[in-house]
Amino acid sequence: LSVRQRCSFFFGSGHQDNSFPLRYLFGPGPSNVPPRILAAGSRPIIGHLHPEMYEIMNDIKRGIQYVFQTENNMTLAMSGSGHAAMECAVFNMVEPGESVLIAINGIWGERVAEIAERIGANVHRLVKSPGGYFTNKEIEQAVEKHKPVLFFLTHGESSAGLCHPVDGIGDICRKHNCLFLVDTVASLGAAPIFMDKQNIDILYSGSQKALNAPPGTAPISFNDRACHKMFNRKTKPVSYLFDMAHLSNYWGCDGKPAREYHHTGPVSGFFTLRESLAILAEKGLEESWKKHKEVSAYLYRGLEDLGLKLFIPERDLRLPSVTTIAIPAGYNWRELLTYIMKHHHMEMTGGLGPSIGMVMRIGLMGYNCEKTNADMALHALADALKSCKKSKP
């Protein structure tokens, strides 16, 4: 193999411009990144262990405390996407052989169950079809039956477009000495969540949804109950990279005076995450929740005017960031989405995991959450419905 042999394709950088086409990212994420966040990501980097970086990380910590509505000291961002936070939560909270209970009503619960099984947990699944939800009574009965150390629930089930109620579940978990883990990747900033008030013990999210940062970082927070279990375990977590004993030090959350080298954090990713948290804080959470509610309601009306049916019948259970539409009778959903991408440069997506073939999804999150964008999406959909022949007339 010649040293030069494989590099010819790279010579000249004409490849650049064609590879970054304009795309309206109106799927379930990532969403379009506002210029202010892009600019933060292009700042010359500093060292991952410089004092100025610690200040940026401290800003991120305070920003996450705000958007999670928590006072938890053990609050930080993972060097990875939402899946890194998911694995971090399970790896640190659960030891082999322990019982865990996972609510599955879409894709995310199944992922958590798979992760917990890999580390040897005793996994119990509480299952509904996509878009289904669990009553507090059902949850309490299952907790009583399986005596889990951890109960997992998805707040924003993006595969089905469901925003699951959370009130009261934290209390049930406390009563039964179980920790409450919630996934808010797709809902953070779009639908209200109150980590402390709702007694959520572990909460995580992602950067690329309503926060509008590029993917690659993931907020996570643990309260004192979670820390007590996590830092009194018998076995080490399987991952060194995701071990909170190290990450808590890296983020200055362990009370020790010095932060030691653990891994090299994504410096530019932290720049963008801080900027995205700052934008949300400046706007205000309540304002952001209100905006998502208004724009999604506007979108629902437009979709119904097109004769489309919303997948989640209960309006109050719909996820304001990701709207799911039942696939219109007789249409091929892949054909519709391909048409929309080709003619409108717009991403909408199909289902994910168990909801594939059941839904089409429109995400209008954070920066993208505007009535003008809803109009664009509706226009593209109307055009596709008109242009794509019904495959089964």
Which amino acid does the sequence have at 370?
E
C-beta of 72 vs 323, nearer to a copy of itself: 72
Handedness of CA 232, 236, 242, 243 (dihedral sign): positive
Residues, the chain? 393
Minimum CB separation from a copy of itself for residue 13, in Å? 6
Contact 27, 20 (CB under 8 A): no
- What is the distance between the alpha carbons of residues 112 and 104, in angstroms, rounded to a whole number? 9
Minimum CB separation from a copy of itself for residue 46, in Å? 5
Minimum CB separation from a copy of itself for residue 141, in Å? 29
C-beta of 21 vs 307, nearer to a copy of itself: 21
| 233 annotated ligand binder | no
C-beta of 286 vs 316, nearer to a copy of itself: 286
Tell me the two tokens of residue 170: 């934290």
Q: For residue 56, how many C-alpha atoms fall within 13 Å in the half-sphere facing its CB?
A: 22
Q: For residue 324, what are the CA distances in angstroms to 81, 200, 202, 225, 284?
A: 23, 27, 27, 36, 26
C-beta of 115 vs 178, nearer to a copy of itself: 115
- What is the distance between the alpha carbons of residues 251 and 115, in angstroms, rounded to a whole number? 25
C-beta of 144 vs 287, nearer to a copy of itself: 287
Minimum CB separation from a copy of itself for residue 137, in Å? 29
C-beta of 71 vs 144, nearer to a copy of itself: 71
Three-state secondary structure call for residue 125: strand
Q: For residue 222, what are the CA distances in angstroms to 86, 219, 225, 248?
A: 13, 11, 8, 10
Contact 202, 179 (CB under 8 A): yes
Minimum CB separation from a copy of itself for residue 144, in Å? 29
Q: Is 251 exposed, middle or buried (0-12, 13-18, 19+ CB in 10 A)?
A: buried
Minimum CB separation from a copy of itself for residue 309, in Å? 25
Instruction: Give binding residues for substrate as ranges.
Output: 361
Instruction: Give binding residues as ranges.
Output: 361
